[in-house]
Structure formats: C-alpha cells, structure tokens
C-alpha cells in the first residue's frame, strides 16, 4: 500500500460534502489516517486542549465515507501518575465520541513498533449481580456473558459518593489493571482503559 500525505476525501454529515485532507491515506485501498504526537503535560496532567484536536479527528472520521478504513495513529506516551497511555486515557474518557470503525494505533518511540489499541466499543454491562462494601467503597460485580465458551469474566465497577477521590482512583486503577489482565488472558474480550 502506498500512503500519500494530505489525502483529500469528501466528508459531510448530510447532502452537502466538502473535501478534508487527512494526514495520510490511500485512495485505491480506501484507507485514511490521522497522526497525532501529543503527550501528557510536563506536570503529568491531561492535555485537554490537545485532546479537542482528537475529538475533531473523530468527527471527520464519522463524516467520512463508510468504505474507508479509518486509523488514528498516535504517539505512545505513558503517564506515571495514571499508569496509562494518552490513548488509553482518551479511549476510556471519550469512547462515546469514537466511531466504532476507527482503529487506534500507538507508536512506541523506544521500541520503534506500533500496536493496535484494544478497547470496549459500545458495550453495555448487564445489571449488578452482587454488591459489597469495603471501607465505604461500594463495589458492583458484573458477570459478562460467555464468548465462544470462554470462561465468564467478572467486571468490577467502583462507585462511591462518600469516599476520598484519591483513594478511589488508586483502588479503581488497581481493579482496572486486574480486569484488563484477566480479559486479555482469557481472550474473552478486548479491553483498554
């Protein structure tokens, strides 16, 4: 496949269309790519203004023709404070804006490799099966249905209106890591965030 810079494709949400230049693409094989090299801020905070550019890219992908393969190619940048990459954060926080046909790829500057990000796309959880309380933190345990006779995965959602937010964040991060590891090992579902 030969990728060309600034590939122009007609986009639009209605009858009126206008050409938009995607960062890279191949018209013959119907591929469009947006490339972003944004990082966490120096204070390891969310680069909110930069992520609005990612939201704009999602809008262009959503208004592009369906026959195109849509790729968001981003720099892998890990937050030590959050223990997640910027792409993982974006997919966890802005998943509602990401069209289901958009692929996220992260480029690792150190290993010089790119890997496709996995994420739960538009998946709704079933009702709570059990609830527990651990030191003021309410935990709802959800059992996801079985996929291809794989073992059932327990997904834990933590909610609390009266718990210290920092404690809750640390606890929730640990729970998400465990869920991610179990999901990937069991091959039950693709999960990021």
pLDDT digits (tens, 9 = 90+) for 87-129: 999 999 998 999 989 999 999 999 999 999 876 444 433 344 4
Structure tokens at 34: 């947006």
pLDDT digits (tens, 9 = 90+) for 54-69: 999 999 999 999 999 9
- What is the model's pLDDT at position 14? 87
Alpha carbon distance 188, 159 (integer Å)? 24
- Name the residue ranges covered by the structural domains of the chain: 4-116, 130-186
H or E stretch covering 92? helix 86-93
Q: What's the whole-model pTM score?
A: 0.61
Main-chain dihedrals φ then ψ at residue 95, nearest 5 degrees: -55, -30
Q: What pLDDT, on a 0 to 100 scale, did the predictor assign at position 73?
A: 95
Lowest mean pLDDT among 11-15, 113-117, 184-188: 184-188
The helix (H) or strand (E) run that includes residue 165 is helix 165-186
State the SS3 of 14-75.
CCCCEEEEEEEEECCCCEEEEEECCCCCCCCCCCHHHHHHHHHHHHHHHCCCCCCEEEEEEE
User: Of 139, 151, 138, 144, whose CA–CA distance to 124 is shortest?
Assistant: 144
């Amino acid at each position: 496949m030969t990728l060309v810079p600034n590939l122009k494709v007609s986009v639009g949400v209605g009858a009126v269309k206008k050409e938009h230049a995607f960062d890279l693409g191949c018209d013959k094989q119907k591929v469009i790519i947006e490339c972003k090299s944004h990082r966490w801020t120096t204070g390891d905070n969310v680069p909110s203004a930069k992520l609005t550019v990612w939201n704009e890219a999602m809008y262009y992908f959503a208004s592009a023709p369906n026959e195109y393969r849509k790729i968001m190619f981003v720099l892998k940048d890990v937050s030590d404070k959050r223990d997640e990459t910027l792409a993982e954060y974006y997919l966890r926080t802005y998943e509602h804006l990401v069209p289901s046909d958009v692929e996220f790829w992260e480029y690792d500057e150190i290993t010089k490799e790119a890997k496709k990000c996995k994420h739960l796309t538009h998946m709704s959880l079933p009702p709570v099966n059990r609830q527990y309380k651990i030191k003021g933190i309410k935990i709802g345990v959800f059992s996801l249905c079985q996929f291809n006779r794989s073992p059932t995965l327990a997904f834990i959602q933590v909610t609390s209106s009266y718990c210290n937010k920092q404690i809750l964040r640390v606890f929730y991060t640990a729970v998400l890591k465990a869920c991610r590891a179990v999901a990937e090992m069991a091959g039950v579902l693709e999960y990021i965030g």
